[in-house]
């Protein structure tokens, strides 16, 4: 037995709508066993599906075939997530002023601009 990739992605709640899953297939964001696929490509148990979402890849292994959308707990039984953990992005600290400290002076504003990298001097 097999099911379409767009229907399976929708059923296991990777995408909110089936049309969004179809659009992702059309855009080349879905791969089965490292091959780009069309929306009608059949999925079988044991396939490795790579989904590109929000700039990151999710690696899923198909363990069950469903064609209808089910609860999240039931849907999670139909795949194994092999996605590596994401790296945390270091956000540079931006200096802040105490609340109620008033407007910064011209000198303080120039120092803040220099710290943020906005000043060209």
Residue 55 CA to chain centroid, in angstroms? 6
Question: Is residue 62 domain-resident?
Answer: yes
Burial class (CB in 10 A: 0-12, 13-18, 19+), 11: buried
- Looking at residue 118, what is its pLDDT? 79
Q: Please give the tally of structural domains in the chain.
A: 1
Over the stretch 49-108, which tens digit does the pLDDT of each residue have? 999 998 899 999 999 999 899 999 999 999 999 999 988 877 777 767 788 788 888 998
Distance from C-alpha of 60 to C-alpha of 66, rounded to nearest angstrom: 15
Residue 21, pLDDT above cutoff 90: yes
CATH number at residue 27: 3.10.290.10
Question: Is residue 7 domain-resident?
Answer: yes
pTM exceeding the 0.85 threshold for the entire prediction: no
Determine the length of the chain: 121
The alpha carbon torsion through 51, 56, 59, 62 (nearest 10 deg) reads: -30
Question: Is residue 40 domain-resident?
Answer: yes
* Domain span at 57: 3-81
Instruction: Provide the percentage of residues in the chain whose pLDDT is more than 70.
Output: 97
């Amino acid at each position: 037995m097999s099911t379409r990739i767009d229907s399976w992605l929708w059923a296991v709640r990777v995408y909110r709508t089936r049309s969004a899953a179809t659009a992702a297939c059309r855009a080349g964001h879905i791969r089965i066993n490292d091959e780009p696929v069309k929306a009608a490509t059949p999925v079988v148990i044991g396939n490795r599906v790579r989904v590109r979402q929000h700039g990151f890849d999710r690696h899923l292994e198909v363990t069950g075939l469903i064609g209808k959308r089910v609860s999240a707990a039931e849907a999670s039984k139909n795949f194994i997530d092999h996605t590596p953990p994401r790296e945390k992005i270091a956000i540079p600290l931006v200096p802040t002023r105490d609340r109620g400290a008033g407007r910064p002076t011209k000198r303080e504003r120039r120092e803040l601009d220099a710290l943020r990298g906005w000043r060209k001097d």
